[in-house]
Amino acid sequence: MLTELAWDDKDVSIYDITSIILVGERASVQSPFGKFKCYLDHDSKEFFIEINETTPLKVFTRSVLLNILDLAEKEGAKKLYACLRRGTQKLGFLNFLKKII
């Protein structure tokens, strides 16, 4: 995504975030894992969440979103963007966002 946005030379932090669904107090073996790559542009204070076809939407829960928002705020972000890769079910994702927000 950095090359696509022409950010190769910018001051950007990259975050690899993994979410799990906890059952009781531990992660279930059958729990799906979601992997999200996030980026913070330190110059513009913009935070980006990259969502692609390998991330199952059922693991992008309200709790995950709140944790990502908390991280972005702690890192000084002023704006947050959810970036969908081409090929990702955009309509499904938009409907999903309406449910969790």
Helices (H), 17-89: 62-74
User: pLDDT of 50-79, one tens digit each?
Assistant: 877 766 666 777 788 888 999 999 999 999
Among the ranges given (11-20, 35-44, 51-60), the one the predictor scored with the smallest mean pLDDT: 51-60
Q: What string of DSSP letters covers 43-57?
A: TTTEEEEEE-TTS-G
**Do residues 56 and 34 touch, judged by C-beta distance below 8 A?**
yes
